[in-house]
Amino acid sequence: MHRKLAARHPDQVRVLVAHEPPIFELLPDSAHWRDIIEAVDNTYHAQGVGQAMVRFALRAAASTRVVIAAGEASAGEPPHQAALAVAKRLNTEPVLFPGGHGGFGSHADGFAVALHSIFSEA
């Protein structure tokens, strides 16, 4: 969509930043990623977005440590509840971070310490 906007209005769009574009066909293991995306897409159409995200997380968890984090101050709020639900489905304990949903800004020092702790365990 953004590419089309830039093509149609080059006088108004000076820079297009494509942050992590999902062009998996360019990767050496593109068949692997095509299979994962197809499985996630099938799950999405059959069971909805929640199950599709769980399937994606489970596939990623096969080779990567997945840490589900939630803000201490956002207990009871939808993002916190969603984090707890995903952690439960992944059969893991969520890690509580300082602050709420935006704790990385409001509690940056404590957030950094929590991240460092997680990365140090890798």
- Look up tokens 């095509």; give the residue: 34
Better-predicted residue by pLDDT, 37 or 122: 37
Query: 97: buried, middle or exposed (CB in 10 Å: 19+, 13-18, 0-12)?
Result: buried
Give CA–CA dist 104/98, Å, rounded: 8
Mean pLDDT of the chain: 80
- Look up tokens 């439960």; give the residue: 88
By the 8 A CB rule, do 75 and 98 touch? no
Q: In Å, how far are 45, 51, 65 from 59, measured between CA atoms?
A: 18, 12, 11
Pairing, β 69-71 against β 95-97: parallel
User: What pLDDT shows up at residue 2?
Assistant: 55
pLDDT tens digit sequence for 49-65: 888 877 776 766 565 67
What are the residue ranges spanned by the domains of the chain?
Answer: 28-64, 65-122
Give CA–CA dist 94/112, Å, rounded: 17
Q: How far apart are the first and last CA of the chain?
A: 37
Give CA–CA dist 42/86, Å, rounded: 19
User: What pLDDT shows up at residue 17?
Assistant: 58
Band (pLDDT 50/70/90 cuts) for residue 99 is: very high
Pick the range with the lowest mean pLDDT from 1-15, 22-36, 76-90, 91-105. Answer: 1-15
Q: Locate the DSSP E strands across the chain.
A: 69-71, 95-97
